[in-house]
Structure 1
Amino acid sequence: MLLTSLGGRLVRLVLLLFAVAVASFALMAASPVDPVNAYVGADIAAIGPEQRAQIAERWGLNDPPLERFFDWLGNVATGDLGRSATFNAPVTQVIGETFRASLALMAVAWLLSGILGFALGVLAGVRRGRLADRVVTWWAYVLASAPTFWVGLLLLYVFSVAWGVTPLCCAVPVGTLAGDVTLLERLHHLLLPALTLSVIGVAPVVLHTRQAVVEALAADHVAFARAQGESSLGVVVHRVLRNAVAPALLLQFASLGELFGGSILAEQVFSYPGLGAATTAAALAQDVPLLLGIALFTTVFVFVGNQLGDLVHSRLDPRVRIRPSGRRHRAAPAPDGPPVAGTVPTEAR
């Protein structure tokens, strides 16, 4: 059973990677931007036809697109993603080095958005229709429609320009070697970009958690617990939180793709040298090998996050089962509903 489920997931991942590779390469081939002009930049006027032809030959741009695609796909199958023209280094090395910087940023933002969003969602659901619910819901809707770069610029102006409590840019102090930077200094530079990402990611968690709490409070077993004299705090802690945390975690793992997309904009606003900044640099320079490598890496990253979310959801919610194909389904309830504490099932009578 486990091997069948794992095999199904791997097959789906391979098919997904192939589809992403085809779509990404087709978009790169159809781009109106000349890769040679983008690679040379402002010095394009000083480049003669012979030098231009040598650059095109060096990066294999003279071959037909279909031939270039299959050559690249064959190299990917052996683990070679090519060489980045922007960074003059192997694509795997560039992704590994930049992702380490982005991982700390995304991990902090992911934890902050999950914890804060779940807490506010529970508060809004418990206080449904009251002032706290209206304030939290309004705030979540505003954040859901706010662009990441706008929130980043606003926080940058308030905390860095107006108050001067956070750095203006970068992952380490300007002019300081990376080996000489302390952990506290790294966290100081990480705080504002992570806050930007977490503020944007809070909104969907708040809204979904609030709805899950409202549905849980309307359930029959909650009404029965209240009738037995259980306090409101006891009802929330023992009967509501578990029903609310499962969909919140599923949504949190499913938001890894949005988190990565937001990190691209946040890293540009704060000049943070992570994978998002490398993606922007590769796009501006039409660095096809690096862009394709980042597309494949992001696909694996998001796919693994979704699968982890499914597994965690199935563990927290016993009604959810994972089929061998990897898809989730909810087990059908018994005809008479769940047994109530203190009663004897019909089969045992």
Structure 2
Amino acid sequence: MVGPAQVGVLAACVVLFVPMGMAGWHLSRNKMLFFSGALFITLAVGVHLTPYFPSLSQLLLSSLSSSPPHHPLHLPRPSTCLPFLHRLSWLPSSPTASSPALWQWAPSAPTLSCGFQRLSRLDASDLLNGSWILVAGDSQARLFVLALLRLLLDPAAMDPVEADLFRRHSDYHIAVADHGIKLDFVWAPFEPNLTAIFRDLRTGPRYPDVLVLGSGLWHMLHVTNSSEYGESLVAVKKAAASLVSPVSPEFGLDGILASSVQPPHMFWLGLPTLVTSMLNTEEKRERMNRTVWEAYDRGVGESKILKRSGGPFLLLNIGLLSRGCGRRCTADGMHYDGVVYEAALHIMLNALLIESQQRI
């Protein structure tokens, strides 16, 4: 049985070759006119043939409507990706290594669909271009700053920078001129120190673009009162809210301040996992045990300072990251290898990508 496609092809051949043969006989002396006529006839045949080959039509339409893919760094990630930022896998750097020194996002469906990535120096510099970053807290915050500087600066420049950064109980300031990045570290080991920082910011001409805070170790050692610690964090939360809404701060269900003014991107450095037997003084081993740590960790949750409970701060969970790296990643049971703070840094950078997309 002859189908419609065969009939269409036969008709097209008649339409094409008969007129072209006749035209070729009369127009062979005028090549321009001949080829113009041939082109017109070929286009006409194409119009007749297209309905008989739907796949050809679909191919033409798809080629016209397709758009080039975006670079993964610029893909908008939904805010629903935030809960999966800490899903990391820890691997030893070599079969004989004593300390796990490699990490990656776990190859699970959520992390793969969210497209988390370790940013290069160039990508991180572009993301933070023109930003003012303020980090305040204790030694954990200082180690976080070190991880950030190691990413942004050339390794040859790190020796003098590291010497200045680790001057005992001191502030530190640096500008990355190539990208207009300003980085301030403020030594603020107690929670009232953090509250005072917010008071100072309110009187200044601008707010930081990124704000990273953390505290608790000094309070745990010198005060050892988790209830008081939680109350102090409530004061920090209120002070953070005053940057945007000084009269009556309100938080939406998603934890973002309800205000026409853009608040800084705020992050909270969680308490590291403590290995009590490795702490270097008897006083620390007595006061900084697992039971006390858990009480202080509950104090963070009960203060509702974190976004997951309606506050302004997104948690950088140093406790979880340090447990994942393990006790081989710490020499004193409190401060961990740089890889832990590097992981926290890249979690923050990916969170900034997400939050920046939500604010556009």
Identify the TM-score tier after normalising by the shorter chain: under 0.3
Structure with a larger share of its residues in helix: 1
Structure with a larger share of its residues in strand: 2
Greater Rg over alpha carbons, structure: 2
- Normalised by the length of structure 2, the TM-score is 0.22
